[in-house]
């Protein structure tokens, strides 16, 4: 394994603009920008602590029933490129997790890249899970060409911040912040977020905590069973049903508060989505200098064209709905203010 020069982690609550940041970083000539690798690895993303290459690859290439219910051409978001393009090697309704989002963003022939990676990974011996991921990053960088720094971005990764930073202590963390009410409102309309909110509300009473420090999704021992038992019809019904604004705001507050606590002792680069859209160039330059140590002019010129300012959806809500949403987001907004205030003291 030829190690890369460094790494980065984009940490956010989901629906906070992290997909945009992935697209910006993907244009940088030195950065291997990985989209949704950990999220699509699902219940085995951060377990077990040591694993063989064959088992590691099997987890990245075998979808669970719950994954297939969300990552498919009917319900998947636009970044699920495999289901939107005429690739033929795999059924998009039973898509290997790493093929759903990660590989199509890196290659025009994701099936060929998938086959090459699988052939390599199955021969890797037993080692720490973090080292298996590092070997995967190095292999991807070699196949893509010219990349020396990996950066992973998965929606909702903030809740796994402590796990990620302990697994990858070399990584530079970036905290992406967005207005809580706007984020929660976006969560209401996003199938994967709907499923997460449902699981957070319904499974906690039986001891399965989606946001728990040691038992969060991808790390807790119960999640492989939950994913395996998740009936396709049930998951699709949940993904098609809007949660209440109270639940959306409370979920955003819970994710944000837990994630900020996990950042104690770390000094991530904080970027506000609103600032990135309002004045892209200085924020993109900060990001490049922090992650890669440079911000080439050609990259800045191309990347600054990506952010788009969008009108707020909050004024479209009825007064009662707006008040409901603001109340449920208040704990998270207070946690953000206190966290930002502590950095200026």
**Domains of the chain: residue spans and CATH:** 6-344 (3.40.50)
Decide if 92 contacts 72 (C-beta within 8 A): yes
The pLDDT of residue 84 is 76
In this structure, the strands spanning 149-153 and 171-177 are: unpaired
What pLDDT sits at residue 266? 95
Any idea what DSSP says for residue 267?
Answer: -
Q: Can you give the pLDDT at residue 229? A: 67
The residue with tokens 């990676």 is 117
Question: Do residues 155 and 91 make contact, with C-beta atoms less than 8 angstroms apart?
Answer: no
- Residue 345: the pLDDT is 56
CA-nearest of 24, 98, 265 to 165 is: 265
pLDDT at 2: 59
| Rounded-to-integer distance, Cα 249 and Cα 323, Å | 11
Helix/strand/coil percent split, the chain, to 5: 55, 10, 35
CB atoms near residue 268 (< 10 Å): 19
pTM for the full model?
0.95
Q: What strand order describes the sheet that includes 269-272? A: 31-35, 149-153, 6-11, 171-177, 269-272
pLDDT of 87: 67
pLDDT in the model for residue 225: 80
Q: Is the bond into 48 cis (omega within 30 degrees of 0)?
A: yes
CA-nearest of 286, 279, 265 to 309 is 279
DSSP strand pairing (50-51 vs 127-128): antiparallel
Q: What angle do CA 297, 105, 34 make, to 5 degrees?
A: 75
pLDDT means per 10 residues in the chain (345 residues)? 85 96 98 96 94 98 87 79 80 92 94 97 98 98 95 96 97 98 96 93 92 92 79 80 97 97 95 97 98 98 96 96 98 97 78
pLDDT of res. 68: 85
**pLDDT for position 232:** 58
């Amino acid at each position: 394994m030829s190690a890369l020069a460094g790494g980065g982690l984009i940490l956010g609550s989901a629906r906070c603009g992290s997909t945009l940041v992935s697209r910006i970083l993907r244009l940088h000539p030195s950065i291997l920008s990985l989209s949704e690798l950990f999220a699509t690895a699902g219940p085995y993303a951060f377990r077990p602590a040591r694993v063989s290459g064959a088992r590691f690859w099997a987890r990245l290439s075998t979808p669970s029933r719950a994954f297939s219910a969300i990552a498919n051409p009917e319900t998947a978001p636009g970044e699920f490129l495999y289901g939107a393009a005429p690739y033929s090697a795999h059924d998009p309704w039973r898509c290997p997790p790493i093929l759903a989002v990660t590989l199509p963003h890196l290659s025009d022939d994701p099936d060929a890249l998938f086959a090459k990676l699988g052939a390599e990974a199955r021969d890797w011996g037993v080692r720490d899970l973090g080292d298996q991921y590092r070997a995967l990053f190095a292999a991807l960088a070699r196949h893509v060409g010219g990349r020396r720094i990996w950066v992973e971005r998965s929606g909702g990764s903030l809740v796994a911040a402590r796990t990620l930073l302990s697994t990858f202590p070399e990584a530079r963390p970036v905290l992406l912040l967005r207005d809580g009410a706007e984020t929660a409102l976006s969560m209401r309309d996003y199938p994967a977020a709907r499923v997460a909110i449902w699981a957070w509300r319904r499974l906690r009473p039986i001891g399965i905590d989606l946001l728990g420090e040691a038992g969060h999704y991808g790390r807790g021992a119960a999640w492989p069973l939950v994913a395996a038992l998740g009936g396709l019809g049930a998951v699709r019904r949940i993904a098609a049903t809007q949660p209440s604004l109270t639940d959306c705001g409370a979920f955003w507050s819970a994710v944000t508060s837990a994630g900020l606590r996990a950042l104690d002792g770390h000094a991530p680069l904080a970027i506000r989505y609103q600032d990135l859209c309002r004045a892209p160039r200085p924020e993109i330059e900060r990001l490049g200098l922090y992650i890669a140590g440079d911000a080439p002019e050609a990259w800045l010129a191309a990347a600054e064209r990506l952010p788009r300012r969008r009108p707020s959806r909050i004024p479209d809500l009825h007064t009662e709905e707006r008040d409901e949403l603001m109340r449920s987001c208040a704990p998270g907004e207070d946690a953000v203010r206190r966290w930002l205030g502590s950095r200026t003291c």
